């Protein structure tokens, strides 16, 4: 009887040990974290595939969880993604990529070089707004694990704008799709990224993703990734209903005391004053220089943003950009200097202190609206401060506040005098200068679309085709000097962007060196959830 009881106890112990071992195995087979929740004040950034996300940074981020690119970035620079190595052959104008092995699409279909070839051809036929294909001639598979992408001409921004931004599509799904923007089948969201897309509630602004267990870089750290719309992300962080959110800088200390980790972005975004340089008096660069002297950048930061920000370079690229020119011309805020320039142009100061010319008062209109900064809608008093500054220089100002879409429409049609706008991508490749200056490169409402200086246009084209980094830097330096002299738009400041996250789940978020993809200044790099 005693031996029977001992054998029974031994079997019970062995059963318990077996159960414990199996439980541990199951835990390690699953992700380290059940779910990660990210708060967003806007919510809706479109469906997360290349043709249905909205053409702004947050929309690209939502898509990037599902679709991988050939290469990617982390907090130090470019790293392998679908391609484990790459090189450039200047004689053949080809970028050669050696692809990772064992990659599968979310539906289990093996990934192949033919998928990359197909993707390049598909984007050439059906343009994807994020990736310029006009400088790409085509692609070819090289054996079982290689790919070559041939350039039509030298294209210096290739790594940032193509290899690091082009979402690769599964050929077996998209080869029969003739209208990608209307393709809404669930298969349209099958990628080979770390997460599978499960659901998007457009009304609520929520997204649900689930970890892809077969991901070639290892199972993601969190089983589920959830985006949730929150009117006040700060409250959501404080009550622990979300794990990550962009925050206003003045809340950093409060959240830090509550145990949150605070991270700060580089100067990847700028607020700027658009100028209608197509009509007088704004078509005169000396008048534009008077505006620059009348505007006090630091005062805008102090009075409208509690001191959180940094005065912008008049050459557009920020001081932390690798191609920044520290000798770019600057304009000291000086109302008296502004008045002297106006008087040299024939303006006469009236009894009321405001200027007039030919008996007509100098009166301009500033169009203002709430701008989305790094995915968050920001209310500010920039227009009020600038109005007072220009009036101190003797310029009458009407300030008109409009909804952002309406304001953008007026700017695009050149139906404005001055307009307050802003955009990101300043940390990324210097091609942003072309997109924000050259009217042939972009029709964006954030672009100055300035074609009056032929040397500037020539240099913009030259910097795109210069593959030698040092030579290209010299060209970009000159572009900044000319742009700052011409002032087709005036960069005002780089706002201080911050994010906060809870350390409880062991995830470390970071801002990406050079910004995600072409320079997105949002700290939601998928590498944070990849082992």
- 252 and 172 in a common domain: no
Axis crossing angle, helix 297-305 with helix 382-392, rounded to the nearest 10: 140
- Per residue in 335-357, is it b (16+ CB within 10 Å) or e — as a string? bebbbebbeeeebeeeeeebbbe
Tell me what the mean pLDDT of segment 89-105 comes to: 97
What is the full DSSP assignment across 52-102? TB-SSHHHHHHHHTT---SEEE-SSSEEESSEEEEEEETTTTEEEEEEPSS
Question: Is residue 22 assigned to a domain?
Answer: no
Q: Using DSSP bridges, classify how beta strands 371-373 and 489-495 pair: parallel, antiparallel or unpaired.
A: unpaired
Could you tell me which of 288, 272, 290 has the C-alpha nearest to residue 280? 288
Q: Any idea what the Cα angle at residue 314 is, between residues 311 and 319, rounded to 5°? A: 60
- Asked if residues 342 and 393 have their Cβ atoms less than 8 Å apart, the reply is yes
pLDDT recorded at residue 342 = 98
Three-class SS state of 378: strand
> For the whole model, what pTM was predicted?
0.88
Which CATH number covers residue 218? 3.40.190.10
Residues 319-349 pLDDT 10s? 999 999 999 999 999 999 999 999 999 999 9
Which residue in this structure is represented by tokens 């009217």? 439
Question: Is residue 351 assigned to a domain?
Answer: yes
Question: Is residue 290 assigned to a domain?
Answer: yes
Which CATH number covers residue 294? 3.10.105.10
Could you tell me which of 134, 177, 186, 169 has the C-alpha nearest to residue 155? 134
Tell me what the mean pLDDT of segment 248-275 comes to: 94
- 204 and 72 in a common domain: no
Rounded Cα distance, 294 and 389, in Å: 6
The two structure tokens encoding residue 512:
């990406």
The two structure tokens encoding residue 110:
């093996």
The pLDDT > 90 percentage for the chain reads 84
- 128 and 183 in a common domain: yes
Domain boundary pick from 162, 187, 212? 187
Residues 6 or more apart whose CB falls under 8 angstroms from that of 293 comprise 331, 332, 333, 334, 335, 337, 338, 341, 393
CA separation, residue 227 to residues 242, 336, 416 (Å): 9, 51, 37
Question: Is the pLDDT at 16 greater than 50, yes or no?
Answer: no
- 474 and 502 in a common domain: no
Residues 6 or more apart whose CB falls under 8 angstroms from that of 445 comprise 274, 408, 411, 412, 421
- 155 and 283 in a common domain: no
Q: Which of 41-50, 156-165, 484-493 has the lowest mean pLDDT?
A: 41-50
Residues 6 or more apart whose CB falls under 8 angstroms from that of 164 comprise 69, 70, 71, 72, 73, 78, 517, 518
Rounded Cα distance, 478 and 458, in Å: 11
pLDDT recorded at residue 1 = 45
Question: Is the pLDDT at 15 greater than 90, yes or no?
Answer: no
Tell me what the mean pLDDT of segment 205-228 comes to: 97
Question: Is residue 149 assigned to a domain?
Answer: yes
- 98 and 228 in a common domain: no
- The torsion angles phi and psi of 6, rounded to 5 degrees, stand at -60, -45
Three-class SS state of 430: coil
Which residue in this structure is represented by tokens 């595939």? 49
Question: Is the pLDDT at 374 greater than 80, yes or no?
Answer: no
Q: What is the mean pLDDT of the chain?
A: 92
- 151 and 228 in a common domain: no
Domain boundary pick from 166, 187, 208? 187
Question: Is residue 60 assigned to a domain?
Answer: no
- Per residue in 31-41, is it b (16+ CB within 10 Å) or e — as a string? bbbebbbbbbb
Using 50, 70 and 90 to split pLDDT, how confident is the model at 404? Answer: confident
pLDDT recorded at residue 18 = 40
**Which structural domain, as residue segments, surrounds residue 247?**
31-42+193-265+498-531
- 352 and 405 in a common domain: yes
Question: Is residue 468 assigned to a domain?
Answer: yes
Question: Is the pLDDT at 253 greater than 60, yes or no?
Answer: yes
Rounded Cα distance, 92 and 145, in Å: 20
- 199 and 182 in a common domain: no
Which CATH number covers residue 114? 3.90.76.10
Domain boundary pick from 157, 187, 217? 187
Three-class SS state of 453: coil
- 295 and 309 in a common domain: yes
Rounded Cα distance, 200 and 49, in Å: 12
Rounded Cα distance, 340 and 6, in Å: 103
CA separation, residue 250 to residues 23, 253, 375, 455 (Å): 45, 7, 18, 43
Question: Is residue 55 assigned to a domain?
Answer: no
Tell me what the mean pLDDT of segment 10-19 comes to: 43
Question: Is residue 415 assigned to a domain?
Answer: yes
CA separation, residue 217 to residues 102, 147, 166, 482 (Å): 10, 20, 19, 45
Which residue in this structure is represented by tokens 């800088």? 249
CA separation, residue 225 to residues 167, 180, 320 (Å): 20, 26, 32
pLDDT recorded at residue 209 = 98
* Residue 520 DSSP code: B
Using 50, 70 and 90 to split pLDDT, how confident is the model at 3? Answer: very low
pLDDT recorded at residue 334 = 98
- 274 and 255 in a common domain: no
- Mapping DSSP onto H, E and C, the string for 108-125 reads CCECCHHHHHHHHHHHHH
Rg of the chain over Cα atoms, rounded to whole angstroms, equals 27
Question: Is the pLDDT at 26 greater than 60, yes or no?
Answer: no
Q: What is the count of structural domains for the chain?
A: 3
CA separation, residue 470 to residues 425, 475, 515 (Å): 21, 9, 21
Residues 42-61 pLDDT 10s? 899 999 999 999 988 999 99
What is the full DSSP assignment across 248-276? -GGGHHHHHHTT-EEEE--S--EEEEEE-
- 441 and 303 in a common domain: yes
């Amino acid at each position: 009887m005693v031996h029977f009881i001992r054998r029974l106890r031994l079997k019970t112990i062995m059963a318990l040990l077996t159960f414990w071992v199996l439980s541990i195995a199951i835990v390690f087979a699953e992700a380290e974290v059940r779910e990660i929740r990210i708060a967003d004040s806007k919510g809706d950034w479109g469906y997360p595939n290349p043709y249905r996300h909205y053409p702004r940074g947050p929309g690209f981020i939502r898509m990037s969880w599902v679709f991988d690119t050939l290469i990617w970035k982390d907090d130090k620079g470019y790293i392998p993604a679908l391609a484990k190595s790459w090189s450039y052959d200047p004689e053949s104008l080809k970028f050669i990529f050696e692809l990772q092995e064992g990659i599968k699409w979310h539906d289990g279909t093996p990934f192949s070089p033919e998928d990359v070839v197909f993707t390049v051809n598909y984007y050439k036929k059906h343009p994807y707004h994020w990736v310029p294909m006009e400088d790409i001639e085509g692609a070819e598979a090289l054996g079982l694990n290689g790919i070559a992408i041939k350039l039509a001409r030298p294209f210096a921004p290739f790594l940032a704008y193509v290899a690091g931004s082009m979402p690769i599509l599964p050929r077996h799904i998209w080869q029969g799709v003739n209208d990608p923007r209307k393709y809404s089948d669930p298969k349209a969201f099958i990628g080979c990224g770390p997460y599978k897309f499960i659901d998007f509630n457009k009304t609520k602004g929520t997204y649900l993703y689930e970890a892809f267990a077969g991901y070639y870089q290892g199972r993601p750290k969190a089983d589920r990734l959830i985006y949730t719309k929150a009117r006040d992300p700060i409250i959501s962080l404080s009550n622990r209903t979300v794990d990550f959110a962009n925050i206003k800088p003045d809340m950093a200390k409060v959240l830090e005391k509550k145990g949150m980790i605070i991270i700060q972005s580089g100067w990847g975004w700028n607020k700027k004053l658009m100028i209608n340089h197509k009509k007088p008096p704004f078509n005169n660069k000396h008048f534009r220089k008077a505006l620059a002297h009348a505007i006090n950048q630091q005062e805008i930061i102090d009075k409208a943003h509690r001191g959180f920000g940094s005065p912008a370079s008049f050459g557009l690229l920020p001081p932390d950009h690798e191609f920044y020119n520290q000798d770019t011309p600057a304009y000291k805020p000086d109302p008296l200097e502004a008045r002297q320039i106006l008087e040299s142009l024939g303006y006469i100061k009236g009894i009321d202190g405001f200027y007039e010319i030919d008996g007509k008062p100098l009166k301009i209109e500033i169009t203002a609206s709430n701008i989305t900064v790094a995915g968050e809608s920001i209310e500010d008093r920039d227009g009020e401060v600038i109005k007072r500054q220009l009036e101190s220089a003797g310029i009458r100002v009407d300030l008109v506040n409009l909804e952002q879409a309406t304001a953008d429409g007026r700017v695009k049609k050149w139906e404005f005098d001055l307009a307050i706008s802003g955009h990101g991508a300043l940390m990324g490749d210097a091609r942003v200068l072309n997109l924000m200056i050259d009217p042939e490169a972009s029709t964006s409402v954030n672009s100055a679309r300035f074609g009056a200086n032929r040397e500037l246009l020539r240099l913009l084209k030259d910097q795109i085709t210069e593959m030698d980094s040092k030579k290209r830097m010299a060209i970009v330096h000159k572009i900044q000097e000319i742009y700052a002299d011409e002032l087709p738009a005036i960069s005002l400041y780089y706002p201080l962007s911050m994010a906060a996250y809870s350390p409880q789940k062991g995830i470390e978020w970071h801002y990406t060196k050079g910004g995600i993809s072409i320079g997105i200044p949002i700290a939601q790099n998928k590498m944070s959830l990849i082992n």
